[in-house]
Amino acid sequence: MVVNSVNFFIFFSIVFVSYYFLFNGRSKAQNILLLLASYFFYGFAEWKMLPLLLVATCVFFVLGIAIWKYNNNSSSRKASALTNLGVILGIGLLLYFKYLNFFIQSFSDFFNALGLQTRWGVLDIVMPLGISFFTFKLIAYVIEIYRGRIQPSRNFVDFAVYIAFFPTILSGPIDRPNTLLTQLSRGREFDYDLALIGLKRIFWGMFMKMCVADRLAIYGDAVFNNAEHHNGTSLTFATLLYPIQLYADFAGYSEMAIGVGALLGFKITENFKRPFFSQNIAEYWRKWHISLTGWLTDYVFMPLNIYFRNIEKWGSIFAIIITFVLIGFWHGADWKFALFGLYHGLLYIPLMLSGAFFKKNKMKKTESGLPTFNAISKMFGTFLLVAFGLILFRTTGLDQSILVTQKIFTSWGSLFVDSKTLINGLLCMTILLYKDFRDEFFPIMHEQGRPQGFVKRYGYELTVSVYIVLILFLGVFDGSQFIYFKF
């Protein structure tokens, strides 16, 4: 049941009406409704994994209270042990469901290559949807309690909603506990202006997914899925389009999730901030999948950086490379994802050695507010580096990645063009990039309250109407599933 489906519209309409017309402002009743809705939503996608989600939630709920108790009773060793247990359990869930078969197969292939035959077979394991997202919430919860940044939730319903919140459980954003739990403790009343903001973001996310991502996917799939039959020109063009397709697909989901959250009275963590206007790879990752990179920065990079502090810059380099290899593996149980992460980690080395990583990279602009030629060249260079690295992400395996790379540098010819699909896709892509450009360089500053004048006064309503028209005329209504659902 994806967010841009008829099933979700029916489901959410029932939740929305009950949420405000029956339980308006009553936090306990609203949270019980959200928990039931979230479990129904998750069960609709994968009902067999509901017990796992419930058991994991119960275990970490108890762990959080115990960690807080021992911390306050000066039993730091016991609190530390329980925190480590929580981290191990969270990582253990990921290792078993997502990576166990991968490691079994990898070791089997390794020993077979050495001439040592093994009889190891992969296990019949079904990977739960959203496991990469809800396990990170669970781990963050116990760590934040141990560090004394939050108090444990004493309300199981609130905590369970935080873990299973239906707009974000399948593809994020990965909310920190202090972000959502605080909001769950208060009753939510219907706010017309906030609801319009939510609708605006939902329909913009639908435009990104249905008009940009799914349009570009038609061309990209035709090229990448038949890479052996296409020349380097077509593969280069598809490679340059893929970062925008991936951005529109994933950021589109995030926009819809944030919009649904706003309709329910919540402020969800922002996940993207116009990443293609970044001047180096560090800035790009500060703007791309922000909730994941922020999570790994706090719980992986910073502890590793402290551990390696005796070797100064090289310690930070080791920490960043390990972090990015983990980012790669987070995306999937495949060596190509590890190489994807390693590639991005290596791109940090020049920034680390030059000291640019530790500085705020303020963009230089002309008097009119536009970026200078030097800034544009840096943004274009960063985009090319990102696009090249995503070959590993898009292709089905290392063999195809090598084939695509070889053809890009050796086999040029006429460009494959599916005119109608490509023209519509490029048109929608232009609208997306124009909006990001406008928001990046000419942000609209609003006074408190709504501005005067018909167009300004009804700006949100008009914007939502425009998005709906664009979706109806240019959207793909039988498009593919969201890319990040498989992660």
| pLDDT tens column, 184-227 | 999 899 998 889 899 999 999 999 999 999 999 999 999 999 99
Q: Which long-range contacts (CB under 8 A, 24 or more apart) does 322-330 make?
A: 323/296, 323/297, 324/348, 326/296, 326/300, 327/292, 327/293, 327/296, 329/99, 330/132, 330/292, 330/296, 330/487
Tell me, yes or no, whether 178 and 205 share the same domain.
no
349-378 pLDDT tens trace: 998 887 766 666 677 777 777 889 999 999
d(CA 255, CA 340): 25
**Structural domain range at position 407:** 194-279+383-482
If one counts every other C-beta atom within 10 angstroms of the C-beta of residue 435, the result is 14
Tell me, yes or no, whether 219 and 274 share the same domain.
yes
In this predicted structure, what is the pLDDT of residue 267?
A: 94
**CA-angle at 84, arms to 78 and 88, nearest 5°:** 145
Please state, in angstroms and as integers, the Cα–Cα distance from residue 312 to each residue in 36, 203, 315, following that order. 50, 47, 5
- Closest by Cα among 190, 194, 154, 184 to 32: 184
Burial class of residue 105 in the structure, from the number of CB atoms within 10 Å of its CB (0-12 exposed, 13-18 middle, 19+ buried): middle
Tell me, yes or no, whether 95 and 230 share the same domain.
no
| 148 Rama sector, left if φ>0, alpha if ψ -120 to 50, beta otherwise | left
In this predicted structure, what is the pLDDT of residue 294?
A: 93
pTM for the structure as a whole: 0.91
Q: How many domains does the chain have?
A: 2
Work out the pLDDT band at 72, boundaries 50, 70, 90: confident
Could you say which of 159, 189, 219 is where a domain stops? 189
Tell me, yes or no, whether 155 and 36 share the same domain.
yes
137-165 pLDDT tens trace: 999 999 999 999 999 999 999 999 999 99
Tell me, yes or no, whether 156 and 185 share the same domain.
yes
Q: Does 212 map to a domain?
A: yes
In this predicted structure, what is the pLDDT of residue 417?
A: 83
Could you say which of 189, 207, 238 is where a domain stops? 189
211-269 pLDDT tens trace: 999 999 999 999 999 999 999 999 999 999 999 999 999 999 999 999 999 999 999 99
Q: Does 487 map to a domain?
A: no
Give SS3 for 124: coil
Could you say which of 189, 215, 244 is where a domain stops? 189
In this predicted structure, what is the pLDDT of residue 367?
A: 77
In this predicted structure, what is the pLDDT of residue 448?
A: 43
Residue pair 175/268 in contact (Cβ under 8 Å)? The answer is yes
Stronger pLDDT, 123 or 285, i.e. the higher one? 285
In this predicted structure, what is the pLDDT of residue 395?
A: 92
Active site residues: 331
- Closest by Cα among 459, 136, 156, 452 to 295: 136
Tell me, yes or no, whether 40 and 121 share the same domain.
yes
d(CA 219, CA 254): 23
